[in-house]
Amino acid sequence: MNKTELIEKVAKKTGMTLKDSRAAVDAIFSTSPKEGILATELAAGRKVQITGFGTFLTRRRKKRKGRNPQTGETITIPATRFPAFTSGKALKSRIAK
């Protein structure tokens, strides 16, 4: 499913117009600093927990040694933060069926 299909399903399920559904989906999932609640919270280092569904959070990856595949030279890959998702118990049990 892509974003357009998600917007259409939200509109059908809730009875909202496509315009309102697009605004709701954008308010949650947009990566724009002005719109996206989820991305804004993660960028601030906070987690977003949706009971029964799961938790969106950021994790840290330590700096590590790597190798440039073209030259074989050893390089240091810097530490980074990255988004992660942990599914909730209800979601896990629904998918496992």
CATH number (domain holding residue 67): 4.10.520.10
> Quick check: is 77 in a domain?
yes
Reported pTM:
0.79
Q: Closest by alpha carbon to 43, among 82, 87, 85?
A: 82
For residue 32, the model assigns a pLDDT of 81
Number of domains in the chain: 1
Neighbours of 42 (CB within 10 A): 19
Domain of 80 in residue numbering reads as 46-89
**CA pair distance 29, 5, nearest whole angstrom:** 14
Question: Tokens 């992660």 identify what position?
Answer: 84
Identity at 76, one-letter amino acid code: T
> Quick check: is 80 in a domain?
yes
Expressed in angstroms, the distance from the first to the final Cα of the chain is 20
> Quick check: is 72 in a domain?
yes
Query: Which tens digit of pLDDT belongs to each residue from 40-70?
Result: 999 999 999 999 999 999 999 999 999 999 9
